[in-house]
Every structure is written in C-alpha cells, then in structure tokens.
Homo-oligomer: A and B are copies of this chain.
Amino acid sequence: MIGVDEAYRIIQENVSALPPRTVGIKEAAGYCLAEDVVSDIDMPPYEKSAMDGYAVIAEDAVPGAELEMIENIAAGYVPTKTVRRGQVSKIMTGASVPPGADSVIKVEETEALGTGRVRLLKEVKWGANICITGEDFKACDIVLKEGKELRPQEIGVLAMVGAKRVKVFSTPRLGIISTGDELVGINKKPRAGQIRDSNSYSLYAQAVQTRAHVELLGSARDKKIEILSLLKKGLRRDIVLLTGGVSVGEYDIVVDVLQEAGVEIFFHKVALRPGKPIVFGRSKQTLVFGLPGNPVATYVNFELFVRPTIRRMMGFEDENAQRMVIKAELEVDIARKRTRREYRPACLRMDSGRFYVAPVEWHGSADLLGATRGNSLLILPEDKNPLSSGDEVDVMVTGEF
C-alpha cells in the first residue's frame, strides 16, 4: 500500500493548470493571475505631497522664516506657479508638488499669518514629505506576475494600472456522485438500515470554498448501471468525486465501474486513517477520485488530495495549493494500535505565542459531529507510537482558529 506522500505525488503528476479566461476586476479576487500585468503609468504619476502643508525650497525653511504663499494646490489640480526663494505654495496630501519646490513642510509645523504669508516653525530636510514620481513602479514595469494570487491588495494594483479586465486561470468544473443502497435524500426520513446522504453536501461545501464550479450529479444505488450513468455525466467535467463503494466488500463496485468506463486507475488504497480506501484515476482530462462512504474519511481525503488538485488546476503553485501544516505541542498522550499515518480531528489553540493541540472526542470515521468540535487535523506520524503529552506534532490547519 502506498503512503500519503506517494499518493499526493502521483496525483500532482496528473494535474495541470486549466486554460486562462478573462474576468472583470470585480470578479477577479481569489483567482490566480494567468498573465503578467504591465503598468501604463508611473506611480506616483507625478511628484506628490505625502502631507497637508506647504511646498517650499528647503534652504528657505528655517524656524521663524516668514514666506509668501503664492498658490493653493488641491489634489487633482495642476500647479500653475513656480515656487521661488521666499515663496511657498499651500499643498494638500496627494497633490502635485509645484515646480521650484523641493520639499513639503507639514501644516502642523507652520503658522498661517493671514495676508497671504506663513511662518515656518521648524526646518525641513531636502525632499521631505515628497513621493518621487515612479518610486512605487514605473510605466512598462511588470507590476503583477503570472501565478500571483489576486488578493485585495493585488485587485487595488490592477485598478491603479487600469487593468479592468484580466486573465486568470479557470476554476475546475467538479461533479459529485454519492453511491450506496443505504442512502436516502436529505428531505426523506431514513427507514431501518438507511442513512441520509451527507457526503454530497459536505463535499459540496468543501469544493465551493475553493471556488470550483460544483454540481451534485445525484445518488446511485449499488448497481453498476446506475453508477455508470452518473459517471458518464461526471466525465464531462474536470474532476469527478464519487463516495462510497470503494472498500473491499462485494457491493463495493465503484472500482469495477471506473475500469469499465475506461478510467485508468493509478492507485487504490493509501496507508492513511481515516480514508484508506481512496481510489484515484484519470480518463482523458478528467481526474476521478473514489472516496470512502464514511463522512470523516471523505472529508480528510478531500483536504489532503482534492483541494490541492483544484488549486493546482486554478494555477497555484504547489506550496500555495496545500493546507498549511504547523508545529504544535501535544496536550495528551496518544497510543495507537496501528502506525498508519493518521489525521485526527483536533483542537488547535494558541497561548502566549505557542500552539497547543489535542484531539477532540471522536468515535471514528463515521462521526462527523465529532469532527465539528475541531478546527484542524492532528497528524499522527507513521514512525512514532505512542506519542506523549509535550511532544511536538504536525497539525494541518483547515480553517480559522
């Protein structure tokens, strides 16, 4: 049986970024840039005052000096007069520094005398409170590179350079299929031996979080023809997730169906808990994940394998595709029967700058309510058992904490 890291590597070998598409700036946040963005202007586009004050020649700025005010320059207006020795122009933050002036003295460091004159209370250094033309970036500079995630800061930069439409990598279309004779829809009351299909909805929420275009393709009974019919719809998408039917039982027919549908299987089973029975394959450009029926197993498989796949398709680099893993101090002793790598729902907390983690009360891979008590997945390694309170452990951060 292959390990988690090997499984991840195999999946990554089969992933590539989707073709770019053009979106408006208001829709671009959260996507990955698929082109270099070049500025059409210098920023600042002109010598700009960083303060409300007076544009002055630094040599004139001695405490007590009384100077003549020749102009009042608001932001958005072009100065019309040149500042000469003995003169100042009043200037607002963001306004264009007038010719002649080489510095700006803050309004708090002056005293207006009326009659168009102003007294300076301090000296000012040459160049003070002036932002130089192009100091942030220059016309023709690449301001944002292909591969960059468009966060709010980047969206603002796009606006600065007038990039009102931009190329980003597409998000995958993802279809979800649940399988199992025991499943009923969420609007039905389960009868004896039945449970509601919860995996479709938890997977939907996980996938929507990544911005994938997600569709619930339906629920199939444990009959090849039913699964095959939904799978065919799924194979028109970039990713298909199936849940259930991947264990070793005689009704676990998903792998057979995948093979009959021409899906090339790369692995079946990973040394992992929960989530061991996962199947991964590909049919042309569609990646296929057969996930177990147990809700927490499905949840963990998605975070470990599917989420990074979606993010890679969206153009993100590997390090920006995976969930963050941080070190924390284990708060309890943990002994296990097996030494498969384990991802256990856990509570991560911060105290005085250190991270601490403890598993939550949890009854195993069917207990999704138990998983709601956690904010992270405690990673129990293959090569260390038992673990003791105080040990340093890895924790996968799955959301805010």
Contact = CB atoms under 8 A, between A and B. Distances in A.
A95 B353 contact: no
A171 B371 CA distance: 26
Contact of A368 (B160, B195, B350): B160
A92 B249 contact: yes
B159 A50 contact: no
A388 B153 CA distance: 28
Interface string A77-117: 11000000000000011111000000000010000000000
A143 interface: yes
Interface stretch (A13-21, A204-212, A228-236, A260-268): A204-212
A367 interface: yes
Contacts of A135: 363, 367
A186 B159 contact: yes
25 contacts: A29-B205, A30-B209, A43-B195, A75-B182, A75-B293, A76-B180, A76-B193, A76-B222, A92-B249, A96-B193, A135-B367, A136-B368, A136-B369, A155-B202, A155-B205, A156-B205, A157-B198, A159-B200, A163-B186, A324-B350, A324-B400, A326-B353, A327-B353, A327-B354, A353-B392
B205 A151 contact: yes
A163 to B, nearest CB: 8
B43 A93 contact: no
Interface in A156-197: 156-164, 180-183, 186-190, 192-197
Contacts of A203: 152
Contacts of A399: 151
Interface of A: 25-26, 28-30, 40-41, 43-46, 48, 50, 52, 74-78, 92-96, 107, 131, 135-137, 143-144, 148-164, 180-183, 186-190, 192-206, 208-209, 216, 221-222, 247-251, 293-295, 299, 302, 320, 324, 326-327, 350, 352-354, 363-364, 366-372, 392, 399-401
Contacts of A367: 135-136
Contact of A158 (B94, B201, B324): B201
Nearest to A327: B353
A156 B366 contact: no
Contacts of A183: 76
Contacts of A350: 324, 326
B401 A295 contact: no
A302 B161 CA distance: 22
A155 B364 CA distance: 18
Contact of A369 (B43, B202, B370): B43
Count chain B CB atoms within 10 A of each CB in A43, A152, A401 and give the residue with the most.
A152
Given A52-B248, A366-B50, A45 B400 contact: no
Contacts of A136: 363, 366-370
A226 to B, nearest CB: 13
A182 B299 contact: no
B208 A160 contact: no
Given A44-B195, A136-B367, A156-B198, A29 B209 contact: yes
Given A152-B299, A162-B196, 10 more contacts: A25-B186, A29-B208, A29-B209, A44-B366, A74-B251, A76-B181, A151-B205, A151-B399, A155-B204, A156-B295
